[in-house]
Amino acid sequence: MASLEARLRSRFAAVRLPDAPDTDSFLNQRGKEFVAAVTSGRVGVSDQLMDALPNLKAIINFGVGYDTTNIDSVRSRGLILSNTPDVLTDCVADTAVGALIDVMRSLSAADRYIRRGDWLAKGNFPLTRRVSGTTVGILGLGRIGLAIAHRLAGFNIHVAYHNRNRRADVPYPYVDSVIALAARSDILIVAASGGDSSRGLISAEVLDALGPDGFLVNVARGSIVNEAALVDSLAHHRIAGAGLDTFVNEPHVPAELLSLDNVVVLPHVGSGTQETREAMAELVLQNLFQFLADGTLVTPVTSP
């Protein structure tokens, strides 16, 4: 955020890392000066950058996801890492429900239908799918997944979930595999954490289990979905549709998806409201203030 960068510059004399080809010369000359790195979940701090910042102590992440930073490298170097949990939960959950309704009721497609003049030329828009009373499987029943589940209650939707571990504090049935969850769901919502352990978790097998009447909604990391398998499943009607807020190689979106009316594509806007981004920025600043004051973080992911 430009406003966050301006506040970092004015309060902390923060320096923006130059883009290539100036990166290496800058780090060679000034890399030893920096004790904290502020980054975003989309960019992260690479192992090479950690190596070039020998006095780095803290990585402060704008975003709840931090899979673009190697957490094992952070721990092995004795660094601390923060993220911005909780403050974006509601807006991401809202986006998930919005994408679900949009793709099942074809709202964006219907909008395009009118704009093309098809209502006049071709008549009524094709029938769509009912949202209320369906079964939704949530992959990742953490803060965001639980907020999604709470919202779906108003639609009389039946919720099931799969996590690394069963939760004892929720009323929803636990399903012991992603494939089994997909098989029992009309809609599969991905709200799991990114990283190597979840990479490609939504595989061709999972999509086949979801089936030709099933929908996929992803508001987590794009890397969790096998994108090639998803494109193939959509192109050959092996699933009914998808609502996607994230992609593997952002901002690049597979061209095959852009011509499909049963796909809603969003430019990673899950937390993209003014209120939430300001709250995320404030939490970044709080983490940086506290680190510089006493060496700790307000919302730590790792400890020294």
CB 245 within 8 A of CB 257: no
Query: Residue 159 has what pLDDT?
Result: 98
| 250 catalytically annotated | yes
Answer yes or no: are the C-beta atoms of 295 and 57 closer than 8 Å.
yes
Query: Are 82 and 173 members of one domain?
Result: no
User: What's the pLDDT score for residue 42?
Assistant: 87
Q: Does 57 share its domain with 155?
A: no
pLDDT recorded at residue 274? 96
77 in the same domain as 53: yes
pLDDT, tens digit, 9 for 90 and up, residues 211-244: 999 999 999 999 999 999 999 999 999 999 999 9
Whether 304 shows a pLDDT value over 80: the answer reads: no
* Whether residue 242 sits in one domain with residue 288: no
Kindly report the CATH number assigned to the domain that includes residue 258.
Answer: 3.40.50.720
Stretch 172-177: mean pLDDT: 98
Q: Contact 30/53 with Cβ under 8 angstroms?
A: no
pLDDT tens profile 129-145: 999 999 999 999 999 99
Looking at 130-195, list the stretches that DSSP marks H as alpha helix, in order from N- to C-terminal side.
143-152, 178-183
Is residue 108 located within the same domain as residue 221?
Answer: yes
Q: Exposed, middle or buried, 232 (CB in 10 Å: 0-12/13-18/19+)?
A: middle
The model's confidence at residue 9, banded by pLDDT at 50, 70 and 90, is very high
Q: Are 248 and 272 in contact (CB under 8 A)?
A: no
CA atoms within 13 A on the CB side of 56: 27
Whether residue 70 sits in one domain with residue 51: yes
SS3 of residue 132 by DSSP: coil
pLDDT for 303 beyond 90: no
Give the pLDDT of residue 68: 92
For 79-125, write each residue's pLDDT tens digit: 999 999 999 999 999 999 999 999 999 999 999 999 999 999 999 99
Catalytic site residue from 162, 221, 227, 277: 221
pLDDT over 70, % of the chain: 100
Domain containing 139 equals 89-265
Kind of pairing between the strands at 241-244 and 263-265: parallel
pLDDT of residue 302: 86
Residue 130 annotated to the active site: no
Nearest to 225 by CA among 200, 207, 259, 243: 200
Pair (119, 203) in one structural domain: yes
Q: Are 99 and 151 in contact (CB under 8 A)?
A: no
Q: Could you give the percent of the chain with pLDDT greater than 90?
A: 96
Segment 39-63 mean pLDDT: 96
**Active-site residue flag, 252:** no
**Catalytic residue from among 162, 227, 268, 277:** 268
Computed over every residue of the chain, the mean pLDDT equals 97
Rg value, the chain, Cα: 21
Give me the amino acid identity at 151: R
Contact yes or no for 83/60 (Cβ under 8 A) = no
pTM above 0.85, yes or no: yes
Domain tally for the chain?
Answer: 2
The residue annotated as part of the active site, out of 5, 112, 116, 250, is 250
